[in-house]
C-alpha cells in the first residue's frame, strides 16, 4: 500500500510541475491522494509546505516593481485595518454565542483576520494553546482555504470583477497566503501582483497582534515569531526594479515560483487527512464559516463601491 501511495504521490507532484498544473486542480489532486491512498510522507508535510510557500512568494517578488507594490499596498491598507478590526470583533461575539472554548475561538479569529495558519502558529505559543486546540483551529482554516481557492475565481468571473477588484478581495477575504496567491494566479497576472502585495502587508500584522495577545493573555517573555520572508520578498522587488542586469533571469525565477506554489497547494491538499477533518468539530467550523462569510461579504461590497 505504501508503494502505491508513493507512486501516486509522485505522479501528483509530476502533474503539478507540468504545463497542465493548475492551483485548484493541484489542491483537489492532493486531497484525493490523501483520502484514497494517504500521504506517504505526512510527517514532513508541514515543514515542506512552509518552506516551499515562503520561497515561492519571494520568487514572485522578482516579477514585481517597487512602484506597483507601493500602489497596491496603499490601496489595501485601509481595507486591511478595517477587516482585521471587524473580524476580531465579530469573532469574539460569535465565539461566545456558540460557546466555543476561549483559546480555540481566539485562534480561529486570528487566523481569519490575518493570514491563516501562519497567524495561528505565531499566536498559539503566546496564549499557551495545546496541540488539540491548534489542530482544531488549523483544520478549520485549512478546509475553508481550500474551498475559497476553488470558489473565489468562479465568483470573480461571475461578478465580472476587474483584476484590481479581485486581487484586493482575495487578499482580504482568503486566509492563507498560499490560497490567496493560488486564487489570484488563476484569475490573472495583475490580480496576482495586487493580491500578493496586499496579503504580505496584511501578514505583517502578526507582529502587533502578537504583542496585543501577550498583553491580553498576560504571558510575559514569550517569543514573537516575525515573518522574515516578507523582507526577502521586498529585496526581490528592489532587485527586479533597480538591477536591470537580472532582467533575463527574473522571468525564469517567477515561473519556478509559480510552479512552486502549485506544488505547495498539492501538499496542502494532501495534508487534509481524515484525522484533521475529524478534529475540527461542528461549532468551530460554524464559527469559521460565519467569520469567512462576514469578511468576504463586507470586503466585496466595499471594494465594489470604491472601485466600481
What are the tens digits of pLDDT across the range 77-110?
777 888 888 999 999 899 999 999 888 999 999 9
Q: What is the DSSP string of 58-83?
A: HHHGGG--HHHHHHHHHHHHHHHHHH
pTM of the predicted protein model: 0.80
Looking at residue 304, what is its pLDDT? 92
- Write out the residue range of the structural domain in which residue 197 sits: 2-306
What are the tens digits of pLDDT across the range 187-199?
998 999 899 888 8
Total tally of structural domains belonging to the chain = 1
Q: How confident is the model at residue 131 (pLDDT cuts 50, 70, 90)?
A: low
Across 176-185, 190-199, 277-286, least confident range: 277-286
Amino acid at each position: 500500500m505504501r508503494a502505491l501511495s508513493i507512486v501516486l504521490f509522485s505522479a501528483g507532484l509530476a502533474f503539478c510541475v507540468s504545463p497542465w498544473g493548475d492551483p485548484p486542480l493541484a489542491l483537489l489532486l492532493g486531497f484525493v491522494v490523501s483520502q484514497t491512498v494517504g500521504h506517504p510522507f505526512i510527517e514532513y508535510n508541514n515543514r515542506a509546505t512552509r518552506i516551499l510557500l515562503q520561497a515561492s512568494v519571494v520568487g514572485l517578488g522578482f516579477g514585481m516593481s517597487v512602484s506597483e507594490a507601493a500602489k497596491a499596498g496603499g490601496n489595501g491598507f485601509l481595507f486591511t485595518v478595517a477587516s482585521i478590526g471587524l473580524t476580531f470583533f465579530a469573532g469574539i461575539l460569535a465565539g461566545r454565542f456558540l460557546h466555543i472554548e476561549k483559546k480555540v475561538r481566539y485562534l480561529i479569529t486570528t487566523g481569519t483576520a490575518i493570514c491563516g495558519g501562519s497567524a495561528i502558529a505565531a499566536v498559539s505559543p503566546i496564549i499557551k494553546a495545546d496541540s488539540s486546540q491548534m489542530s482544531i483551529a488549523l483544520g478549520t482554516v485549512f478546509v475553508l482555504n481550500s474551498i475559497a481557492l476553488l470558489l473565489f475565481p468562479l465568483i470573480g468571473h461571475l461578478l465580472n470583477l476587474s483584476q484590481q477588484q479581485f486581487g484586493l478581495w482575495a487578499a482580504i477575504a482568503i486566509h492563507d497566503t498560499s490560497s490567496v496567491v493560488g486564487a489570484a494566479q488563476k484569475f490573472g497576472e495583475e490580480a496576482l501582483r495586487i493580491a500578493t502585495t496586499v496579503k504580505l502587508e496584511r501578514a505583517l500584522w502578526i507582529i502587533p497582534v502578537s504583542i496585543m495577545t501577550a498583553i491580553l493573555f498576560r504571558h510575559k517573555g514569550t517569543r514573537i515569531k516575525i515573518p522574515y520572508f516578507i523582507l526577502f520578498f521586498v529585496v526581490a522587488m528592489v532587485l527586479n526594479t533597480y538591477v536591470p542586469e537580472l532582467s533575463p533571469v527574473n522571468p525564469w525565477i517567477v515561473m519556478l515560483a509559480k510552479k512552486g506554489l502549485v506544488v505547495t497547494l498539492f501538499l496542502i491538499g494532501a495534508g487534509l487527512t481524515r484525522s484533521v477533518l475529524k478534529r475540527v468539530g461542528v461549532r468551530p467550523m460554524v464559527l469559521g464559516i460565519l467569520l469567512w462569510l462576514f469578511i468576504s461579504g463586507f470586503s466585496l461590497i466595499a471594494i465594489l463601491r470604491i472601485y466600481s
